[in-house]
Amino acid sequence: MKHSLYDAVGGHSTLVKAHKIFYDKVYAHPWLKQFFEGHDQAAIEARQTSFMAEKMGGPEYIGKPLKQAHENMYITEELAMLRHALLAESLCEAEIENELSERWLRIDSAFMQQTIKPSMDAFYKDYKFTYKQRIIIPKPVES
């Protein structure tokens, strides 16, 4: 009997642990944290845990589709790769086995493409949302 990735990593408790480590890093990062201002970290962690649980073969996610949840955010490839690197660090710190971590990161990469905006022009032209304020956060200047 083949187990799901969700079961192989240790289920809900492992996802909770990994996402706590991950979002502690995100909320401390000078660029990424700005996307989450005004949003409760515990609520964000819970949504990410639920989303990834379903994608790993666990319980069903009940929430906004990924693209809809991020449509008003100008997320560049650089920003997505930075986020992905922090997730990789977090999985290591959560002591997820390498093979399982690689599978987790492949799932994350597959969904990352749904959030990346190819250019500012495309962001304004292609993402037509009337009720949401666009979130555009320039990369902080390193000192």
Over residues 95-113, the pLDDT tens digits come to 999 999 999 999 999 998 8
State residue 13's pLDDT score: 97
User: Is the Cβ–Cβ distance between 139 and 29 less than 8 Å?
Assistant: no
Q: What's the topology of domain 5-126?
A: Globin-like (1.10.490)
* Whole-model pTM over 0.85: yes
State residue 7's pLDDT score: 96
Average of pLDDT values for 6-13? 96
Domain locations in the chain as residue ranges: 5-126
Q: SS3 breakdown of the chain: % helix, strand, coil, rounded to 5? A: 60, 5, 35
- Show the CA angle centred on residue 56, arms to residues 85 and 16, nearest 5°: 65
Q: What is the pLDDT of residues 12-65, one digit of tens each?
A: 999 999 999 999 999 999 999 999 999 999 999 999 999 999 999 999 998 888
